[in-house]
Amino acid sequence: MRLGVNTFIWRSPFDTGRDLDLVGHAADLGAEVFEVAVEDPATIDAEALAEALRVRSLGAAVCGAFGPGRDVGDADAGVRASTLAYVARLIALAERLGADMVVGPSYGSVGLARALSDAERRAERERVVGALREAAQEAAAHGVRLALEPLNRFETDRINTAEQGLRLCDDVGHDAVGLHLDTFHMHLEERDSGAALRAALAAGRLFHVHACENDRGVPGRGQVAWGRVADALRAGGYRGDVVIESFTPEVRSIAAAVCLWRPIAPDQDTIAREGLAFLRTLLA
């Protein structure tokens, strides 16, 4: 298992014209993987980022940002098309960075909270499945996989648990589609985070893991069932990346989006430095 950090810890939106220093900074703090959160692909110079990663011998992952207006299940065909175009750009960036993974809730935009009828849910599901099949074919053609992230019920009404995510993967029916499980969301939605991880591993669908504390702070300082998480990953032979994704009030645009109104760590670097050290001991 490689351990890494997501750029949301420090800045947003990530812009290679301003933020390439984070590559070396992440490496100095102990990261082996640099997960770039891509809100706007136009702000990313793939060549410059690839070279910075090469110089510091860091692996890479690409994290999608699916805010309002980015939804492969939207009833508006134009929204679906523009979202698939965005996903295609993430796939192309991942290939250029030597990353084999595009992660995040690519099945729908964050913030969905609707009481839909059964018929509306079925129609929406068909749109999501059809779009993800198309995206999976694009990913496979570039040697990239899509890791779908279940979110808690306050952030989406579409996919909240590993079980729901596995059903969606089965419906899509493509080997390039799997799950990205996040300990923050699992802490809220799963009865047993370890069992959720084991189910995804047994299905061969656990592609990526985010290590996040229940308060979004430093991993290891809160209530997440880290022992069960570690036991499940080890027993299941997980060989993917484990990446810290966290948010702080310093990054105001993201803090508002995730409803973070108070300090949850001494500083941003502590989240990465102490979190990585904790995970290295936990998963040894």
pLDDT of 219 strictly over 70? yes
Q: Domain limits at 235? A: 2-282
- Summarised one tens digit per residue, pLDDT across range 154-194 is 999 999 999 999 999 999 999 999 999 999 999 999 999 99
pLDDT of residue 255: 67
| Two tokens, residue 178 | 């799997």
Extract the runs of DSSP E, i.e. beta strands, from 11-119.
33-38, 59-64, 101-104
Catalytic residue among 149, 155, 190, 213: 149
Q: Which of 146, 140, 150, 169 is nearest to 61 (CA)?
A: 146
Catalytic residue among 32, 213, 245, 274: 245
Helices 193-202, 226-235: axis angle to 10 degrees equals 20
| Two tokens, residue 37 | 């959160």
| Two tokens, residue 41 | 């692909």
Q: Which is more confidently placed, 251 or 268? A: 268
| Two tokens, residue 93 | 């960036």
- Summarised one tens digit per residue, pLDDT across range 83-103 is 999 999 999 999 999 999 999
- Residues 162, 197 contacting (CB under 8 angstroms): yes
Tokens 């059964």 label which residue?
Answer: 118
pTM of the model: 0.95
pLDDT of residue 254: 72
Extract the runs of DSSP E, i.e. beta strands, from 79-126.
101-104
pLDDT of 253 strictly over 90? no
Give the integer Cα–Cα distance in Å for 22 and 28.
10
pLDDT of 264 strictly over 90? no
Q: Is 245 a known active-site residue?
A: yes
Mean pLDDT of the 8-24 span:
96
- Summarised one tens digit per residue, pLDDT across range 121-156 is 999 999 999 999 999 999 999 999 999 999 999 999
The band of 258, judged by pLDDT with boundaries at 50, 70 and 90, is: confident
**Which residues have CB under 8 Å from 174's CB, separation 6+?**
132, 133, 136, 137, 140
CATH of the domain at 255: 3.20.20.150
Look up residue 202 and give its amino acid: A
Q: How many domains does the chain have?
A: 1
